[in-house]
Amino acid sequence: MDEKKYSSKYKRVGQPYDRKDAREKVTGQAVYTYDLELPGMLHARCLLSPYARARIVSIDTSAAKALPGVRAVLTGEDSDILVGLYMQDKRVLSKGETRYHGDVVAAVAADDEETAERGVSLLKVVYEPLEPVRNVDEALEGKILVHDDINELKHYVGVFFPQKDSNIASWNKSKKGDLDKAFDEADLVVENEFSLPAVAHVPMETHVAIVQADPFSNKIKIWASAQSPFAIRQIMADSFHISETDVEVHIPYVGGGFGGKAGIHLEPLAALLSRAAGGLPVKVRATREQEFNQLPTRAGMRGRIKTGVTKDGKITSVKAVYDWDSGAYADYGVNVGKTAVYSGVGPYAVENASIDSKTIYTNKVFSTAYRGFGHLETHWTIERQIDILSQKLGIDPYEFRMKNLLEPGCQTMSGEVITASNGSPKDCLTAVVKEIGWTGRKSEEERQREWKTGKVRGKGFAMLQKAPAMPANTATAVIMQMNGDGHVKMMIGAVDYGQGAITALAQIAAQELDMPIEHIEISSEIDTRANPYDWNTVASKLTFMAGNAVIKASREMLRKMKDVAAQALRTDPDYLDHADGVIFHRHNPERRLTYKQIALGYMYPNGTGIGGPLIASGSSIADGLTNLHPETGQGYPAAVWTFGAHAVEIEVDVETGSIEVLKVASAFDIGQVINEKLVYGQICGGVLQGLGSALLEGYKFNADVQLMNPSFTDNKIPTLKDIPGKIVPIYIENPQFNGPYGARGVGEHPMISVPSAIGNAVYDALGINFHVLPLSPEAIVLGIQSGKKSILCTDVDCLPGLH
């Protein structure tokens, strides 16, 4: 790991404080939903569909219901509730038909898990297996509909576009310029296809929820390992036809999410079971296997891209079609698909372009948000295509990118004009290319020479961009109160599920209030009855949005403190300053009061009080965003773009196909580092997770679309031993003028484009273009053995379910 020291110009912002929750977590004191037990709590188990698509002919629950200790047995006949954030398409329990291998068919709540599981094994279900929809091509044919009620499904109108009588949950579009003319006039037009499989989030704590639903009122209490307390509240209210205030959601510590715990998951099932069991609390937890085959994944994706360029390397035209294999449901998946229409040409200025992004139903495990939110997938297409174009043009890939990258004055795909406040993609690329010592592509002779040694080295790089994918009116809020000891306690509505939100926000408050970070108390525990609203903890937008809310709350707090202090010091608040926990008179600093002296109200020597307990708040709502035009995709989707680049050096063993990642350099224009340790952690974690997608991970299905690798035995993720030789983080700080201290988000970005950079380096090493992930040892060997220079899905039969 690189030891370059980061230094901040601020006293507290930018400093590498330890995470506030670190000690509690490493000593095992932190309490997670998994640990919780409530008085009288029941445990639930689910019966999952063994078929990708089947008609449920009958379910006999009598033996299960008769088992002592079983308190409730539910099937699809017991509830018609549909849930979903953007697309209300998911039944809590299958009714009539199952839609994927893992779809919940029935659930049993019992006194303990063992009894619940015995109850499940006593359920007698008769299925009639039906022909499944295996992949996006079969889905687009539309002979079989995964949801035959697609025309009636409730959805976010005007933002998502389900297609009538089809398997297309949403077809989002964007276009600009004159594409046909641009292709005609281009010196070179190149068309390619790229694909990648579904992958799992693999949080350490699997999905778990405890719900107590009063059968005699609308009251529902939820404890969950989740990213989105307020989204759960809203969706529960919508789906159960009750008021949001009837739902209370508690989020203790969360053991990882990566997007997989955004939106809503096991909570509605637990609520139905609790009601059926007379209101006893019911805990539903996913086993590790269920985490793979019942809970959602990152969608598989196929990108088809056609690019026109001039011979001196200017991109004039792009036509991209992204087909997302969202599996059985698209309640969240449609929003992933939507990102492709405004971000699907990458950080490049392209005047003529069209993008079609279809989120498609198949009979596979369904998809949801995943770190990078579609961008790892689209960038696998974009950045490999850019590399192939540079090969065909005979232009160095660095120079080719530099000619086309966005800079002030350029327009994004959705027509937003880039300014200096957006940061600089070029700075990022230049930094990483320099870091790996790029001097141009390897020649064929160099390749051949190295090949004889059995190991060939290659270098490659790739750009990335991402902005939060969220509704145009996304909002968050912060409440700040002062304790009697002059410390500040803050409440937020977002969840710190490992990304470091509470530490970063405490730092901003500490900077604003000029007090030690240790004096800022901020709990990661959320209770929707007490904490202020936050839309969803996703999208790398929390530091940006809640950071601004913290600044507002801090300034309000200072204003209130100065008002009280001015009265106590018999002066005008405008003459007062603050520093190190003290309010003082600018001209005569001896006229001063500590924060503590006014925390609960100032008391005169005779006992008279003024002021009262100090409390302040701050709200932040996305600034100037719009919905996109349904046909052209033009509009303002991006509260904050973060640009970045990765460059890698690898060594390929040409006999075994193993790729050794020697070095990864990662640069992000994050505007301002808030906490160097946290950013570094995000970069290392994201890069490693990206390497998982690049080299290793992927769902595999058989011909009947049953998941073949529903456990760690065959669904692997990188381990400690798979960490690359060197990860060099590079922080570029061109501030965003409306960001907190200029900061932008960086939570998801380190994962994006890692596969693209590796794929480009594999080309440098082998002279072979891979169009499919993962770049497993097997894929590399089969690719080499095929003798082809372009390796498609069908050349390395590693992903039978995808094609």
* Site for another protein contains 797 (CB under 8 A): yes
* Site for another protein contains 803 (CB under 8 A): no
3 state SS of 233: helix
Give φ, ψ of 168 to 5 degrees: -95, 105
* Site for another protein contains 718 (CB under 8 A): yes
What whole-number distance in Å separates Cα of residue 802 and Cα of residue 137?
Answer: 9
Number of residues that bind another protein (CB under 8 A): 30
What whole-number distance in Å separates Cα of residue 665 and Cα of residue 647?
Answer: 5
3 state SS of 253: strand
Stretch in the footprint of another protein (CB under 8 A) among 189-197, 477-485, 613-621, 651-659: 651-659
Q: Please spell the DSSP secondary structure of 33-52, one letter per residue.
A: GGG---TT-EEEEEEE-SSS
- Binder among 106, 696, 730, 775 for another protein (CB under 8 A): 696
482 closest CA partner among 508, 515, 504, 505: 515
Q: How far is the CB of 721 from another protein (least distance, A)?
A: 4
> Binding marks (x or -) toward another protein, 545..574, rule CB under 8 A?
------------------------------
> Binding marks (x or -) toward another protein, 276..305, rule CB under 8 A?
-------------x----------------
Tokens 């086993």, residue located = 287
Contact 225, 261 (CB under 8 A): yes
Tokens in use for 246? Answer: 């009837």
Q: How far is CA 139 from CA 95, 145, 802, in A?
A: 21, 8, 12
Q: Please spell the DSSP secondary structure of 381-430, one letter per residue.
A: HHHHHHHHHHHHHT--HHHHHHHHB--TT-B-TTSPBP-GGG--HHHHHH
- Binder among 35, 112, 114, 184 for another protein (CB under 8 A): 114
* Site for another protein contains 709 (CB under 8 A): yes
- Binder among 95, 173, 629, 716 for another protein (CB under 8 A): 716
* Site for another protein contains 501 (CB under 8 A): no
Q: How far is the CB of 114 from another protein (least distance, A)?
A: 7
* Site for another protein contains 785 (CB under 8 A): yes
Give φ, ψ of 465 to 5 degrees: -150, 150
Does the active-site annotation cover 748?
yes
CB nearer another protein, residue 101 or residue 319:
101
Stretch in the footprint of another protein (CB under 8 A) among 88-96, 202-210, 403-411, 780-788: 780-788
CB nearer another protein, residue 85 or residue 696:
696
The catalytically annotated residue of 138, 383, 697, 748 is 748
For CA atoms 268, 272, 275, 280, give the dihedral sign. Answer: negative
Tokens in use for 306? Answer: 């056609």
Q: How far is the CB of 102 from another protein (least distance, A)?
A: 15
* Site for another protein contains 121 (CB under 8 A): yes
Q: How far is the CB of 202 from another protein (least distance, A)?
A: 13
What whole-number distance in Å separates Cα of residue 72 and Cα of residue 110?
Answer: 7
* Site for another protein contains 777 (CB under 8 A): yes
Q: How far is the CB of 333 from another protein (least distance, A)?
A: 25
Burial (CB count within 10 angstroms: exposed 0-12, middle 13-18, buried 19+), residue 480: buried
CB nearer another protein, residue 571 or residue 709:
709
Q: How far is the CB of 299 from another protein (least distance, A)?
A: 20
- Binder among 708, 725, 737, 738 for another protein (CB under 8 A): 708
Strand-pairing partners, residue 174, are 355
* Site for another protein contains 776 (CB under 8 A): yes
Give φ, ψ of 45 to 5 degrees: -135, 150
Q: How far is the CB of 453 from another protein (least distance, A)?
A: 14
Q: How far is CA 488 from CA 373, 384, 511, 554, 579, in A?
A: 35, 49, 13, 10, 15
* Site for another protein contains 60 (CB under 8 A): no
Stretch in the footprint of another protein (CB under 8 A) among 1-9, 227-235, 265-273, 709-717: 709-717
CB nearer another protein, residue 65 or residue 591:
65
782 closest CA partner among 765, 797, 760: 797
Q: How far is the CB of 46 from another protein (least distance, A)?
A: 14
Residues that are catalytic: 748
Question: Binding residues for another protein, per CB under 8 A?
Answer: 114, 117-118, 121, 289, 655-658, 695-696, 700, 708-709, 713-714, 716, 718-722, 776-778, 781-782, 785, 797-798
